[in-house]
Amino acid sequence: MKYFSTRGGSEELSFEDTVLTGLAPDGGLYIPTSIPKLPENWKNDWKDYSFVDLSVAVLSLYISRDELSESELRSLVERSYASFRHPEVTPLKKLGDKKYVLELWHGPTWAFKDVALQLLGNLFEFFLKRRNERNPDKKEKLTVVGATSGDTGSAAIYGLRNKANISIFILHPKGRVSPIQEAQMTTVTDANVHNLAVKGTFDDCQDIVKALFADTEFNAKHRLGAVNSINWARILAQTVYYFLAYFSLRHYVGEDQDLEVQFVVPTGNFGDILAGYYAKKMGLPMAGKLGVATNANDILARFWKTGRYEKADSSASNAAAPLAMEPAAGSSDGKQATQDAGGVKETLSPAMDILVSSNFERLLWYLAFENVPEGETDRRGKAGKTVAEWMGKMKSDGRVEVPVAVLESARRDFCAERVSDEQTLETIRSHFLGEPSYIVDPHTAVGLNAAMRMAQHNPASMKQIILSTAHPAKFSEAVSAALKNSPEFDFDTQVMPEEFNGLLQKEKRVIDVQGPEVELVKRVIEERV
């Protein structure tokens, strides 16, 4: 299996190069040359597979044997998921006759990104080691740099801690990350892990990271790597739990039943749900459309409504424009106003606070491809050209409108709903008071709320699986805000996991950066790498 860029199409990379490269040089994302079909007897052969078995079975379809043997792959996967607390890794919980949640947060940092990042760290280490053994004169290293407002940083740190030939530098805004999330990052004291507490905002941190990647000299010298959700290995690792969920559901409802199932996914950068799309295209039966659940940062929900992929909500900001312009001219409220006119909105589900969804480009490629008539020459190249045009428009105008036929293709596989903060809180409350009582984090609540609305269009036989992306203790503010008036609610005994006890008191290692300046960060990296 080879990989090529969504914006190009001619150059093909191995799986190893795809994983180590991340973003393609033309700005595109890598996708496989074809989506493999499931083996004929998968339903029977795989039905009692563990998470590790399923990972090996699914991932081998995307990785050539001469790059990773089955036993090498198995050993990497086993190590990656040994760090999970639950024997099933991603267990399926029944909340109602038609409502199930897939708990993706039993990994080391209690959020779903662990599933992919635990494996990604091991893949990086394996490939670098092998390259260095084959070519000892040219020692290859990787310096991973990233900015975080809390969630992704800790998952990346836990994925890469203690890995040979890899250093990781994670920038967070000092004092602006929740205490638990700050402690999760800074109590990792492995020598290759460097937490930088930058005096500034999350945006400052992100700007510094962007500047480092844009600095070609610095980048080449240190071989900067990213672990963000565009890395193909992350998508691939996430396809596995869709299969596990399917089999778990069959165990609940009886194996002879024909399952009609809809997956609903709290979505930000479109990585988690895109993995579901791959699973579907491979042949996993999904009678229901994949449900995109967004918060107020609803670029995706708007796309499925209108066919326009645009940063600012033009229908709303037309009306709001005069208001948005006024304070900007001199008032200190200018920032708020520009945010309303199209910036990222801060919500109770911060891991989904995005302006554009980086992995959406991968779906756009498949939609473009479907709409190049069959029989035409070089369909792949033509789809790449279309995607490059769309993304170019996105960059220059902040918006692009796809043809009706493309929107119709998108609607065949997906539906979408936007969920407000108020609805998020209400959903946390109703599930706490539900039977069984179940406490969810705000991201999962977005998924549950969207699922409820999507269910209204479903046939009675349809079951829903909502992906639960974080443990509620990670987002204590939203959970406490939702449940503060419930007398039976007690955060410390009902939500707080034992493992968090003492976390805040543990030894920390963190480097203070006195201002949001690229040079200061560069110096830290130069000193420590």
Ligand X SMILES: *Cc1c(COP(=O)(O)O)cnc(C)c1O
* Residues assigned a catalytic role: 113
Rounded-to-integer distance, Cα 370 and Cα 406, Å: 8
Pull the structure tokens for residue 167. Answer: 């250093």
Of 19, 121, 109, 32, the residue nearest 80 (C-alpha): 121
Strand partners, 111: 470
Residue 84: half-sphere exposure toward Cβ, Cα within 13 Å:
27
Choice between 352 and 391, CB closer to ligand X = 352
Mark out the alpha helices in 223-313 (DSSP H runs): 232-253, 271-282, 299-306
Whose CA is closest to 122, among 31, 230, 234? 234
Residue closer to ligand X by CB (options 91, 268) is 268
| CA dihedral for 368, 373, 379, 380, sign (positive or negative) | positive
Of the pair 111, 448, the CB lying nearest ligand X is at 111
**SS3 readout for 349-375:** CHHHCCCCCCCHHHHHHHHHHHCCCCC
CA distance 150 to 153: 6
What is the smallest separation between the CB atom of 113 and ligand X, expressed in angstroms?
Answer: 5
User: Using CB under 6 A as the criterion, which residues of the chain lie in contact with ligand X when the complex forms?
Assistant: 111-113, 151, 229, 266-272, 351-352, 443, 469-470
Spatial separation of the C-alpha atoms in residues 58 and 464, rounded to whole Å: 23
Q: Residue 300 Cβ, how far from ligand X at the closest point, in Å?
A: 9
In the complex, the smallest distance separating the C-beta of residue 349 from ligand X, rounded to whole angstroms, is 7
Tell me the C-alpha distance between 299 and 296, whole Å.
9
Q: How far is the CB of 355 from ligand X (least distance, A)?
A: 13
CA nearest neighbour of 52 among 94, 84, 20, 92: 84
Smallest separation, CB 312 to ligand X (Å): 20
Minimum Å gap between C-beta 29 and ligand X is: 13
Q: How far apart are CA 233 and CA 337, in angstroms?
A: 38
Q: What is the DSSP string of 453-500?
A: HHHTTS-TT-EEEEEE-B-GGGGHHHHHHHHTT-TT--HHHHT--GGG
Shortest distance, CB of residue 424 to ligand X, whole angstroms? 12
CA dihedral angle for residue 62, residue 64, residue 70, residue 73, rounded to 10 degrees: -60
For ligand X, which is the closer residue by CB, 144 or 521? 144
For ligand X, which is the closer residue by CB, 102 or 111? 111
Nearer to ligand X, 259 or 467 (CB): 467
Q: Minimum CB separation from ligand X for residue 286, in Å?
A: 18
- 159 Cβ contact list (under 8 Å, min separation 6): 114, 117, 118, 119, 120, 121, 227
H/E/C letters for each residue in 16-58?
A: HHHHHHCECCCCCEEEECCCCCCCCCHHHHCCCCCHHHHHHHH
Nearer to ligand X, 222 or 471 (CB): 471
Shortest distance, CB of residue 90 to ligand X, whole angstroms? 14
Q: Which is nearer to ligand X, 73 or 237 (CB)?
A: 237
Compute the distance between CA of residue 62 and CA of residue 320 in angstroms, rounded to an integer. 47
* Smallest distance, ligand X to C-beta of residue 406, A: 21
Instruction: Kindly tell me which of 194 and 362 has the beta carbon lying closer to ligand X.
Output: 362
Question: Strand ranges (DSSP E) for 115-232?
Answer: 142-147, 166-173, 193-198, 224-225
**Quick one: 240 or 513, whose CB is closer to ligand X?**
240
CB atoms within 10 A of CB 377: 7
- Exposure of 504 in the CB half-sphere (CA atoms within 13 A): 6
518 within 8 A of 200, measured Cβ to Cβ: no
